[in-house]
Structure 1
Amino acid sequence: MEIRRNKRPKTGVETKFSLPKFKKYFLKNGSEIYTVKKTDLPIIKITFIINSGSKFDPKNKNGVSNLTGMCIDEGSGKYNALQLADEFDFLGAQFSIQSDSDITVLSLQVLTENFDAAFELLSFVILLPHFNENDFQRERRKVQTRIEQLKDAPDYIANSAFEYFLFGKAHPYAFPVIGISESIKEIEISNLKNFYKGFFKSRNTSIVAVGNFDDNKLLKKVENVFENWDNGEKISTQNLNGNKNKQKIYVVNKQDSVQTEIRLGHNSSKRDELDYFQKHILNLILGGQFSSRLNLNLREKHGYTYGIRSQFNYYKDDAYFSVSTSVSTENTAAAVNEILTELNKIRDGITDEELTFAKSSISRRFPLNFETYSQIASNIASKIIHNLPDDYFQKYLTNILNIKIEEVNSAAFKSIIPESALVVLCGDEKKINEQLSSLNLGDVVSVDYEQIYSE
């Protein structure tokens, strides 16, 4: 039986879905807390979202935010690092700390019966970190080792080089969250302590709780435990000015590589602006699903890649559009040419069939985003980060289904700008450069990944 991937499957019967509802409260210490009832299991997940991402790293100290997150649970309250980990394990608690460009997230998931004890441990981490010098040195060595490992990862090199050249050296999103070799060497434990004091404050924190609990009891517990937390002031949104994109190709040499990592894109409007839903539908059609135009072209028609995707990447204070794929070295220029061809074609408009299928696909996937405790918490965190309306999720599908084809076509013309596309290619420089003259895409710049952050 022949499989035809260029034929879209028929849609079936719509499933019923009840969106989880949240309540929002404001604590006396200035924090806001969102609660969601989920009573199918005796579990509570609570997440602290602190406005303290790597965009706030001190100048020439990239990686401070990440290292602060790594170190605050390396001994807290009355426990050292091993004791704290053992206590969480004893309670069967899942505890994690993650830092990204905009925020630091501390998450705790535990059985309801063990919540009080686990929450006390969480409070130690947030309120009473030790910042021991030996722990700091150990965690810094881990980061240095990881950075060296990543220098051998072409996908990481392509991603980080693309963001650096897209935003420009003066832009905080230009640097990896983990930091760079030169900056990590300069970070001292005092930098972590100062960062913690400046950003880990109640007014700079939002809390999301999902699970089987009584709202009043939970609020009282959080109020009591964190009533004396330094409230400070909420850190405001930054007005950032990145590079003005013009078409340019950067080739990052990965000698003897048989593959080329391709990143292509340009700046875009932010997440909280009015064209999000139109762009979401547009991207799904262009490169956001298996049956997308880009995938049907580069994978199915030409066999250049196993997969390709496009997306609008949203930070809190900036955004960009990108296309990402990996191809065999000999097909590098041809693949870039086909990508640009598809970007130009979609500016001419989509079809009614594509719009109908995209709306149906989004509608069917939407309930899957709210199945687990982590998914619910993550969606509310996204609402907080991007300052979305409280009824955003309630109106989400209505907003999607009401989009007209003219609106998507307008978004395509405004939001997809091939003539401003920045192209980053990570692979065998000599073999790539031999192909690029046929593209006529402007300047081609060869760069050494080890040197780009020092330029």
Structure 2
Amino acid sequence: MRKEPSYIANTAFDRIVFDGTYYAYPELGYLETLDKITIEDVRNYYRKYIQNNSLNFAVVGNVSKDEIVRLVNKNFNGRQKITIDQNIEPVVDQNTKIYIADKRDAPQTELRIGHRGVKRNEETYYRLKLMNTILGGDFSSRINLNLREKKGFTYGAGSVYGYHKNAGFFEVHSAVNAVNTGESISEIIKEINGVRERIEEDEINFAKSFHTKKFPSLFETYTQIAKNITPLIIHNLDTNYYKNYVDKIQSVRNEEIIDAAKKYLHPESLVIVAVGDRDKIYEQVKELGIEIVYIDEKGDARGGA
């Protein structure tokens, strides 16, 4: 898995975008560091961050509130919250760069394009959700229609404006034909700029309808309900969040989406990760006039081109 271009692209993107923070490291770690972890390291981590730390529970099922409270108090009473939050600035001030990880003889290039974003908050969430749906969050989005349907460069392309607890991120993802790497990057940047300039009324209506119709399907099973309670805890959302969700989506105005795109999409500060055959893609991306940096499979720089 660690040698797969998609894994390398994801790992390198996080490493570069979140450099200097704990989000820069993959959940599975690195082999060289895993080998150095001792049983005592594991025990110390458990004692410090798990054994005595406060917990939040999302419980869904045929059980009473009183019974849940009794069980929690019996087994987890006396814990205190341990704060390990980190203040992460939304965007690193840097010029757009292309980071190439060489994967010899790869027929496709894995692309990840984006930057850090804002933390999840009430003011921006719904605007950015609709903006991303139009840009790359749905099969009929601009990026996919361009790269897949119009150009035929890929089987699929999309984007996400996602959220960790202490930081957000914007990311475009696709695997494109190696011979179309340069033009794919150019078209993606064009679409990012385009959504900052103009959004059609029918695009907004579709995005609102998409999320409104999709909403009930998020709560069809106990597992889904529990899973969707979790963001309320992680992001400290109001308990009426889901009650007001559809109304909030429907109330967003056209100009608010464009304003959010202008404020929170940064085409001048993109991290562009390209994992593919260097010999096939270098001359293409060189023509874009963007600084090129070679990286290893973890995302660490190997030097300029």
For residue 331 of structure 1, what is the amino acid of its counterpart? N
User: Distance between the aligned counterparts of 1:451 and 1:285, measured in 2?
Assistant: 30
Q: Is 2:283 the counterpart of 1:438?
A: no
User: Distance between the aligned counterparts of 1:451 and 1:320, measured in 2?
Assistant: 17
Cα deviation 1:2-50 (Å, max 9, x = unaligned): xxxxxxxxxxxxxxxxxxxxxxxxxxxxxxxxxxxxxxxxxxxxxxxxx
Cross-structure match for 2:63: 213
User: Distance between the aligned counterparts of 2:298 and 2:135, measured in 1?
Assistant: 34
Cross-structure match for 1:350: 199
Q: Would the aligned equivalents of 2:293 and 2:301 in 1 still touch at CA under 8 Å?
A: no
User: Distance between the aligned counterparts of 2:258 and 2:124, measured in 1?
Assistant: 12
1:224 CA drift (Å): 2.2
Cross-structure match for 2:295: 447
Cross-structure match for 2:85: 237
How many pairs align?
302
User: Distance between the aligned counterparts of 1:205 and 1:255, measured in 2?
Assistant: 46
Distance 1:328 1:175, change over 3 A: same
Q: Would the aligned equivalents of 1:294 and 1:342 in 2 still touch at CA under 8 Å?
A: yes
1:167 CA drift (Å): 1.6
Q: Is 2:281 the counterpart of 1:281?
A: no
> Unaligned 5+ residue runs, structure 2?
none
Structure with bigger RCO (C-alpha 8 Å, 6+ apart): 2
1:453 CA drift (Å): 8.5
Cα deviation 1:367-410 (Å, max 9, x = unaligned): 11111111111111111111111111111111111101110110
Cross-structure match for 1:321: 170
Within 5 A, what are the aligned runs for 1:250-269?
A: 250-269=99-118
State the 4+ residue runs in structure 1 displaced beyond 6 angstroms: none
User: Distance between the aligned counterparts of 2:41 and 2:68, measured in 1?
Assistant: 34
1:151 CA drift (Å): 2.6
User: Distance between the aligned counterparts of 1:172 and 1:226, measured in 2?
Assistant: 27
User: Distance between the aligned counterparts of 2:302 and 2:279, measured in 1?
Assistant: 23
Q: Would the aligned equivalents of 1:166 and 1:245 in 2 still touch at CA under 8 Å?
A: no
1:320 CA drift (Å): 1.1
User: Distance between the aligned counterparts of 1:277 and 1:283, measured in 2?
Assistant: 10
1:436 CA drift (Å): 1.3
Cross-structure match for 1:341: 190
Q: What's the TM-score, normalizing by structure 1?
A: 0.64
For residue 163 of structure 1, what is the amino acid of its counterpart? D
User: Distance between the aligned counterparts of 2:144 and 2:280, measured in 1?
Assistant: 25
Cross-structure match for 1:160: 11
Cross-structure match for 2:241: 392
Larger-Rg structure = 1
User: Distance between the aligned counterparts of 2:159 and 2:102, measured in 1?
Assistant: 24
User: Distance between the aligned counterparts of 1:451 and 1:162, measured in 2?
Assistant: 7
> Unaligned 5+ residue runs, structure 1?
1-149
1:201 CA drift (Å): 4.4
Instruction: Provide the alpha-carbon RMSD of the alignment.
Output: 1.8
1:243 CA drift (Å): 4.0
Identity of aligned residues (%): 38
1:292 CA drift (Å): 0.4
Cross-structure match for 2:76: 226
